[in-house]
């Protein structure tokens, strides 16, 4: 799937009040090259894609945010706009079989509610891109989780941290909640969250401390399609280019958020010390 460069150039020209000639001069290419780019389906080289989108971002044109807002306005009832960051691109049909088994909820197709969060996760990869998706959830069975004990233990299980407790009644009860579920809506977990959950599983902090620490690192919700029935309800709306300057902005923002979150985690660990249960008390 291409990036619909021809549409994006039209937006750039309109918002900057530029002619094709002026735009070509800015990018140091010929007018015939820009005219060719404006043809639907025209292939644009990776170097020129970077040139176009980096220029727009540095001119404060947030093309991906504009597309997001337009797609949100067109979203139908029982539909939700989702985002998927890809290290390169999605090839072929979307399938849960292509997913790793040791993700938060096992094999599935993982998407986020936030454009920024989805882009942040892949901004360190040189050929990454962002997908905007329409998800029709009507008639599907949903499991919604918050920052709670079941969510923590589910993630720990699928990440291979509860192997010794696989047959425990509580673990089985939690896993049974996924039976017949088409998709899960739950908080996004990143490496910082995994470290906190590890501290809980290893008996360093209680469940209450863990929950408050995880709340401090809130990244928004993810939608995880667990069945092909759910995946079949996903429609790719647009593949979006992530310019180097845009990626740098996301990385910087994530770094700033991480510093604040780490401070909140330290306070939460101290403030809720001694409250709740340790893992050995829960899974006795």
Residue pLDDT, tens place only, 129-138 = 999 999 999 9
Q: How confident is the model at residue 1 (pLDDT cuts 50, 70, 90)?
A: low
pTM of the model: 0.90
Per-position DSSP letters for 166-226, written without gaps between them? TT-HHHHHHHHTTTT-SEEEEE---HHHHHHHHHHHTTSS-HHHHHHHHHHT---EEEEE-
Report the pLDDT value the prediction gives residue 260, as an integer from 0 to 100: 66
All structural domains of the chain, each given as residue ranges with its CATH number in brackets, are: 1-61 (1.10.260), 79-282 (no CATH)
Lowest mean pLDDT, pick from 47-61, 149-163, 265-279: 265-279
Strands (E), 124-182: 129-136, 142-144
**Residues 50-97: tens digit of each pLDDT:** 999 999 999 999 999 999 999 999 999 999 999 999 999 998 888 888
pLDDT in tens, 2-32: 899 999 999 999 999 999 999 999 999 999 9
Whole-number pLDDT of residue 100: 80
| Of 183 and 273, more confident | 183
Q: Lowest mean pLDDT: which of 229-238, 244-253, 265-274?
A: 265-274
Task: Report the relative pairing of strands 183-187 and 221-225 from DSSP bridges.
Answer: antiparallel
């Amino acid at each position: 799937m291409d990036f619909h460069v021809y549409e994006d150039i039209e937006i750039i020209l309109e918002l900057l009040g530029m002619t094709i000639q002026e735009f070509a001069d800015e990018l140091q290419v010929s007018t015939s090259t820009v005219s060719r780019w404006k043809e639907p389906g025209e292939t644009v080289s990776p170097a020129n894609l970077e040139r176009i989108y980096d220029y727009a971002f540095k001119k404060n044109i947030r093309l991906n945010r504009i597309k997001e807002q337009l797609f949100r306005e067109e979203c139908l009832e029982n539909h939700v706009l989702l985002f998927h960051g890809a290290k390169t691109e999605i090839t072929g049909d979307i399938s849960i079989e292509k997913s790793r088994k040791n993700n938060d909820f096992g094999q599935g197709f993982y998407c986020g509610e936030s454009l920024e969060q989805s882009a942040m996760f892949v901004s360190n990869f040189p050929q990454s891109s962002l997908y905007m998706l329409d998800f029709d959830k009507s008639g599907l069975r949903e499991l919604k989780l918050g920052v709670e004990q079941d969510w923590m233990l589910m993630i720990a299980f699928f990440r291979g941290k509860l192997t010794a407790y696989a047959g425990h009644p509580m673990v089985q009860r939690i896993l049974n909640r996924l039976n017949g579920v088409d998709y899960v809506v739950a908080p996004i977990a990143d490496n910082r969250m995994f470290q906190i959950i590890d501290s809980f599983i290893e008996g360093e902090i209680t469940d209450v401390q863990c929950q408050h620490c995880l709340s401090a690192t809130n990244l928004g919700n993810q939608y995880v399609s667990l069945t092909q029935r759910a995946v079949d309800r996903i429609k790719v709306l647009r593949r979006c280019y992530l310019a180097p300057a845009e990626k740098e902005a996301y990385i910087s923002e994530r770094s700033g958020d991480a510093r604040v979150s780490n401070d909140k985690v330290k306070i939460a660990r101290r403030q809720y010390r001694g409250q709740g249960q340790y893992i050995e008390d829960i899974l006795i």
